[in-house]
Structure 1
Amino acid sequence: MGRLEVTALLFLLTANAYVTNSQRSACGNPEVADVIFLIDGSSSIRSQDFEKVKEATATFINKNEFGKTRMQIGVIQFSTKPRLEFQLDQYDDKAVLLKAVHQIRQLHGGTNIGQALNFTIDYFDSSKGGRPGIQQYLILITDGESGDHVSEAARAIRDRGVNVFAIGIGAANHAELVTISGSQDQTFHVDNFGALKDVDKCISFVVRSPNAGSNPEVADIIFLIDGSSSVRSQDFEKVKSAIETFINKNEFGKTRVQIGIIQFSTKPRLEFQLDQYDDKAVLLKAVHQIQQLHGGTNTGQALNFTIGYFDSSKGGRPGIQQYLILITDGESGDQVSEAARAIRDRGLNVFAIGIGAANHAELVTISGSQEKTFHVDNFDTLKDLDKWISFEAHSPNAGSNPEVADIIFLIDGSSSIRSQDFEKVKSAIETFINKNEIGKTRVQIGIIQFSTEPHVEFQLDQYDDKAVLLK
């Protein structure tokens, strides 16, 4: 999935102001993330090389900003047994954090990576200082082969939505490293410990899926499909066919993509939940067997019904990217705004696809942005579904919009600005608002106007409804 770059911005808008955007590199560091270093302290590592591991960790720390609302770092060392050095929320002062790294003493002993992975998984939980729902990373650094089995423990930690990078030095078992990270792209092998000083340059903090229109590698996706009487039976079959095409282009399973389908008309009906099928042939058969409901079009009720099916109790994997894809040909018979906002406030990416006479404004209200709303003339166009939906975390490029941020506009309202130009400032802010997701867990907007004296127009948490905010 695309990089999640989260920024807090202060815009100063005055008559002569300008903005410069600086593009972050492909291997840039995250701004909001939980990162645990799992470092090998076994006897096969010389003391001077263990110091180089610590130095690499310290270099990484020096290049980032830390705190409860920024990046959090934890370190776990392992040999025969693992040992917590410090958990994610223990230090938010960089100087204290660097001192804690410096004071780590090598364990010595064997190399039981499987046991260390099992020990580590819980330290991403909120009870141990983790922040499930934001990006979480595990960076394993080892020079050897594990003395115990790693595959089940590695799969369990990835199933929690944790992005795992495995870095091997010298004689480390490369195949085992790939088993741990789950991907060649997230496995690195260097000749010596001196190369670790550039760890931040070789690791890309992204949620795999760099291209617009590309298919996700790890995601929970629920299709919410309109089965009302306004959809002709042959067109309902085309909706199913589009989903089958999408399934055929992806890899499925507990550690890859999971698909669920909910059909709605007057009432919603679960066809199958996210973790029900991990065999592609069985999944395709289940789609083929879906029978159209007929009835009205209560999209709001369907959205409220759907939200719980992204929870872990219903097969969802909170912490990885989760998507809802709505497909409808009509206008809802009930209210959609509150239900749509609730589902987006859970961190879900919502795409709304309308066919024919569907209400476009309502679709935008549901998805939360024009960029995630699509309107096509007929059901035949759905066959290209995967080509126009971008499975990314909405910030692949410099200048893209934040997903979670507090933003205050500080705008010049002095007499030097003509009234028509002041209206243009307001119009620019309205455009910005329309392009973002607004709410307590997404983007919050505040405005302060100044001239001789400053004046608070509204503070950050005052409005979480986009329509009210625009007004």
Structure 2
Amino acid sequence: MTSGPSSDSVAPIPELLQKNVVSLFAVGVKSSDLKQLQTLVSRGGYYYQLSDYSLLSMIQSQIIIKALYLPATTVVTTGFQYKLVPGNRDADVVFIVDGSSEVSDANFALVRTIVSQIIAGLDVAPDATRVALVTVGGTPRADISFNSFPGKAELLAAVGKLAPAGGPRNLGAALQLVANSVLKPDKGSRSQLGSTTIVYTILGGKPADDVTAGATLLRGMGVLVSAFGAGYQDSSVLSSIATSSSQVFTWSSFQDLVTKSSSLTGNSLYLPKRKASVTFVVDTSSTITADELKVVKTFIVGMAHRLNLAPDSVRLSVVSYGANCQKLVGLAEINSPKDLEAKLGSVLVPTGGATNTGKALTYTITDLLAKEPEDATKSVVLITSGPSSDSVAPIAELLQKHVVSLFAVGVKSSDVKQLQTLVSRGGYYYQLSDYSLLFRLQGQMVNKALYLPASYVSDLA
């Protein structure tokens, strides 16, 4: 791990590594020298260039697997670069376009024009907005991945060469293709890093297959889906595709969409700053150790980096509990991850005693989040390592009443039936075998906490 260019030569290192059969994971942070990292692994190894130390958690699992199970003799040179990009311009945008046999060649040419017009107004770059595209047909095609092209010019050239897929309008299969294949790190997706993922569906008629499974999958991943109807205005079907009815748009024809879609270009496509209130409820009872709480603290601070805290938009608080609960950080107390880390360092400690999860959640919902602005998306992230000592049965109704989303994370000996009860009226539960696995949840939690209202959250393990 290094945060700057080497003062001495690194040229002899690859031969030395090869001679002694040693694998190298070269992690450069901030102002590290990319060429030096590449030189270090020129005979085999992995280099990572990170813009911030908080991103180290993103590479933990892959380093463990490679270090334990991949001998140095089989290592190939591979590079990964992760960046923290402020604001909403680090969005991943997916176009799902109708290329079925019911769309004429002339109309598909208009589809290419529509997509090109929208892309022209985007800030397309590897460290800004990335674009992918799926063409709908009998067998949907992933024609463009997020990492297919380095810049806007190459991307627009590829869009200009798109061809229809033909066959029935299997939109449901296309939505599942996006969820299961397109939104993967090896395809350039940054959803696991907390980037906002937006899907724009351009449809010329009624889908030939069921869209429920695919739409539910994307919604569960925290993906924001908009549905554009061109010559197709069945709002009930389009609403079943979109994240909400406010994301349904209709035009009389593809030509009408071309001429009237100027409002869909440029900054209007990026999500506005959202108001959100997120409270972490952390079990500090006798079921958790001090070292495990340090991991939890790192996880919460990492989440704070991705949430872009600000008093007028995203506010974060932390509650600890055992037999009793205590507010460690209020919703208006801190404005930066650095402040949060400093505050938690001395107060997030084991308290021992019982594990009264029901009592802690009741306090959090009624005394903290219920008082937040109505236009703010409100979420609770529960982290617990054992079964609750009191009843959690009333919590689901309380969450629903106050429109609060719950992410119930159980670690080690947590009770899965209690987790399921907590989200029985909507929410997400996760059961992890170890606290180190928390970091895998950061990206999807950020998207869901910021952009998915509780009324759209489903029970998903």
* TM-score normalised by L of structure 2: 0.48
Which structure has the higher relative contact order (CA within 8 Å, separation 6+)?
1
Tell me the TM-score normalized by structure 1. Answer: 0.47
